[in-house]
């Protein structure tokens, strides 16, 4: 798989940060944070899954290696004073560099997070615009977890969840037992009280398996009995890929398209007939899927015409003549699609998610949001041809910049359909030189 890599200019990024916001559509209205803990909507639950990966990045354990050391240390010397952190984050004139890293690689990922849960953004969804910065509560929580991690200390999720009244009441006074059982110091408990009372939804996030998984794997949470129970819950998304462009032959090459870390889904507060699972794809998403398939088809037809026009494939599977390619495509190439809800796929969980959603696929095309790949740190060991997965930026499809990816898919199909052709042997030899 070949990827485009952008050079992000520091000066340009600083200028962008000065703008502080960009316009994005909001759907639906954001609930009042003061209503207390409620069941998360499908979009908010999805955002919790996005957050589980984002936490790995902002604690320096994933993402672009260039910024990992900065993320793993930025904020270590900050006092656990939520009011002060909130003041810095809310004042455009104050420098936020002591609290977080100016990492342009996570902008695309951040936009996805804020789209599905605006309350995790600095503007809290109260405006038609979205800030470039996360909410003050998010920044504060990261600093606490970072400091615990550097001291080799771990929080105990079960003990915290058992003390909902304590953590949602900033006036409640922790006792010695609270300190002992939660793995938190008195000042850390007070800090979390301020965070959770300001955004109660974050407390509820501690019940989500994907987030608890990340906290335990990162080494900032102890796997106590409650955490084990939460992690053991089957995380069944309740969806499978479907036939989008079926093939007549059961031996057809199966190409699956999966949406991941992408904004192109509308959502409602709860599932309806129009929004199964609480989501439905936008017309733009559907158009880009169709364009991707068309580009693959064109690449395959061009490759077959150029390389095989003077040859007959053994047993007559392909020969020159009108309609041959159309019949080949309809019989031998099957396109599968998951478009009921967005997914969260990154190198660490890709094999598991793919096996759950589309185990029958021969090749997986993971369709991501704009520039999201910059936060994934995709190495050659994690993409095609080493594995059967490609990551494709949806905006590359819109800009007609996927010739390389379409050619790779076409060659994969050819190798599956005609493994013994002399043409393919020449192609493989050329690639090795």
Closest Cα partner for 70 from 103, 110, 94, 113?
A: 103
- The residue ranking higher by pLDDT, 184 or 92, is 184
Closest Cα partner for 39 from 278, 263, 353, 356?
A: 278
Instruction: Give the pLDDT confidence of 206-215 residue by residue, as tens digits.
Output: 999 999 999 9
Closest Cα partner for 202 from 63, 37, 66?
A: 37
Instruction: Give the pLDDT confidence of 321-377 residue by residue, as tens digits.
Output: 567 889 999 999 999 999 999 999 999 999 999 999 999 999 999 999 999 999 999
Q: Residue 94 contacts by C-beta under 8 Å, 6 or more apart in sequence?
A: 87, 88
User: Residue 273 pLDDT more than 80?
Assistant: yes
Closest Cα partner for 368 from 277, 271, 265, 273?
A: 265
CA distance 134 to 124: 9
CA distance 181 to 157: 10
CA distance 202 to 51: 11
Of the pLDDT bands very low, low, confident and very high (cuts 50, 70, 90), residue 311 is low
Question: In this structure, are residues 166 and 172 in contact, taking their beta carbons and an 8 Å threshold?
Answer: yes
When pLDDT is averaged across residues 134-155 and rounded to a whole number, the result is: 98
User: Residue 115 pLDDT more than 90?
Assistant: yes
Question: How would you label 204-214 residue by residue, b for 16+ Cβ within 10 Å and e otherwise?
Answer: bbbbbbbbbbb
- Determine the 3-state secondary structure of 244 from DSSP: strand
CA distance 259 to 261: 7
- The residue ranking higher by pLDDT, 37 or 188, is 188
User: Residue 428 pLDDT more than 50?
Assistant: no
- Determine the 3-state secondary structure of 333 from DSSP: strand
Burial class (CB in 10 A: 0-12, 13-18, 19+), 239: middle
**For position 321, what pLDDT does the model report?**
52
When pLDDT is averaged across residues 245-262 and rounded to a whole number, the result is: 96
Average pLDDT, the chain: 87
pTM: 0.87
Rg, the chain, Cα only: 24
Instruction: Give the pLDDT confidence of 39-55 residue by residue, as tens digits.
Output: 889 999 999 999 999 99
When pLDDT is averaged across residues 69-74 and rounded to a whole number, the result is: 98
Which range has the worst mean pLDDT, 256-270, 301-315, 341-355, 385-399? Answer: 301-315
**For position 322, what pLDDT does the model report?**
61
Q: What percent of the chain has pLDDT over 90?
A: 77
Which range has the worst mean pLDDT, 56-60, 227-231, 240-244, 425-429? Answer: 425-429
- The residue ranking higher by pLDDT, 314 or 351, is 351
Of the pLDDT bands very low, low, confident and very high (cuts 50, 70, 90), residue 124 is very high
**For position 315, what pLDDT does the model report?**
45
Domain boundaries defined on the chain: 19-232, 242-432
- The residue ranking higher by pLDDT, 279 or 319, is 279
User: Residue 229 pLDDT more than 50?
Assistant: yes
CA distance 146 to 219: 10
CA distance 235 to 46: 12
- The residue ranking higher by pLDDT, 417 or 145, is 145
- Residue 161 CB: number of other CB atoms within 10 A? 18
Of the pLDDT bands very low, low, confident and very high (cuts 50, 70, 90), residue 34 is very low
Of the pLDDT bands very low, low, confident and very high (cuts 50, 70, 90), residue 225 is very high
Of the pLDDT bands very low, low, confident and very high (cuts 50, 70, 90), residue 430 is very low
Question: How would you label 5-34 residue by residue, b for 16+ Cβ within 10 Å and e otherwise?
Answer: eeeeeeeeeeebeeeebeeeeeeeeeeebe
């Amino acid at each position: 798989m070949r990827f485009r890599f952008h050079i992000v200019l520091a000066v340009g990024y600083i200028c962008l940060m000065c703008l502080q916001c960009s316009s994005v559509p909001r759907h639906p209205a954001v609930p009042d944070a003061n209503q207390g803990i409620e069941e998360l909507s499908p979009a908010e639950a999805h955002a919790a899954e996005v957050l589980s990966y984002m936490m790995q990045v902002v604690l320096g354990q994933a993402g672009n290696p260039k910024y990992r050391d900065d993320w793993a240390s930025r904020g270590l010397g900050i006092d656990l004073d939520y009011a002060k952190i909130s003041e810095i984050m809310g004042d455009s004139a104050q420098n936020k560099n002591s609290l977080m890293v100016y990492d342009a690689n996570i902008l695309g990922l951040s936009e996805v997070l804020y789209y599905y849960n605006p309350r995790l953004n600095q503007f809290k969804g109260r405006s038609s615009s979205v800030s470039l910065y996360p909410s003050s509560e998010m920044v504060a929580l990261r600093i606490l977890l970072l400091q615990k991690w550097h001291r080799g200390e771990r929080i105990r999720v079960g003990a915290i969840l058992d003390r909902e009244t304590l953590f949602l009441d900033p006036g409640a006074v922790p006792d010695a037992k609270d300190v002992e059982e939660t793995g938190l110091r008195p000042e850390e408990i007070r800090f979390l009280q301020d965070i959770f009372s300001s955004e109660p939804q974050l407390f509820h996030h501690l019940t989500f398996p994907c987030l608890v998984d990340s906290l335990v794997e990162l080494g900032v949470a102890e796997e106590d009995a409650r955490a084990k129970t939460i992690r053991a819950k089957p995380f069944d998304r309740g969806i499978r890929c479907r036939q989008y462009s079926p093939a007549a032959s059961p031996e057809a090459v199966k190409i699956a398209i999966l949406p991941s870390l992408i904004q192109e889904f509308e959502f409602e507060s709860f599932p309806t007939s129009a929004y199964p699972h609480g989501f439905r794809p936008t017309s733009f998403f559907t158009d880009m899927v169709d364009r991707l398939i068309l580009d693959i088809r064109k690449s395959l037809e061009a490759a077959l015409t150029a390389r095989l026009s003077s040859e007959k494939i053994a047993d007559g599977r392909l020969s020159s003549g009108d309609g041959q390619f159309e019949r080949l495509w309809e019989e031998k190439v099957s396109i599968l699609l998951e478009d009921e809800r967005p997914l969260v796929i990154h190198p660490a969980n890709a094999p598991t998610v793919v096996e759950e959603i589309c185990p029958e696929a021969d090749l997986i095309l993971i369709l991501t949001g704009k520039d999201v790949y910059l936060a994934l740190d995709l190495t050659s060991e994690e993409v095609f041809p080493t594995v059967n997965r490609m990551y494709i930026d949806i905006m590359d499809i819109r800009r007609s910049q996927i010739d390389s990816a379409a050619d790779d898919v076409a060659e994969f199909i050819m190798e599956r359909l005609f493994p013994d052709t002399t043409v393919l042997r020449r192609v493989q030899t050329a690639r090795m030189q």
